[in-house]
Amino acid sequence: MIVEKEKIATAAIIQHKNKVLIAQRKKDSWLEPNKWEFPGGKVESNETYEECLIREIKEELGITISINRFLTKTTHNYEKDREIFPITLMAYIVDWMGDEVKNIDCQDFRWVDIKDLSKYNFADADIPILNGFLSSLKESVK
């Protein structure tokens, strides 16, 4: 088994009213095609997590976001062809600034009611983020 170098990436929970924007991976994606995810991407050298997230969301969806707060850090090991690909995701709650969402680098996107998020087939690395987000909402109601 070969273990690749850990990749650091960001993920955005883009909120507007009671909805969250999620993106669907392309059908020809090398890992978990067609699954849903919180949009984001790999951090480049000399780039903060926040800068990465703002850049990636602009590149993938054509929109501008404003960072609200850090939510969670999660690590997941993907395995493919006897190789392990560790990825650490830095997830943030962000606000949509009102631009038109465009399908630039994903198969599909949807604004989903928060109560319906669990109905979607999320990528494995995004599931702990989803659970952390939903738990944080329950905590804030208490």
pLDDT digit string (tens) for 8-38?
999 999 999 889 999 999 999 888 899 999 9
| pLDDT tens sequence across 36-73 | 999 999 999 999 999 999 999 999 999 999 999 999 99
Amino acid of residue 133? F
Report pTM. Answer: 0.92
CA-based torsion, 131, 136, 141, 142: positive or negative: positive
Please, what are the domains in the chain?
Answer: 2-141 (3.90.79.10)
Say whether pLDDT at 142 is over 60. Answer: no
Q: What is the pLDDT of residues 86-136, one digit of tens each?
A: 999 999 999 999 899 999 989 999 999 999 999 999 999 999 999 999 998
What is the phi/psi pair of residue 120, to 5°?
-95, 150
- Residues 1/83, Cβ–Cβ less than 8 Å: yes
| CA–CA distance, 49 with 124 (Å, rounded to integer) | 21
When pLDDT is cut at 50, 70 and 90, the band that residue 141 belongs to is low
pLDDT at 84 > cutoff 80 = yes
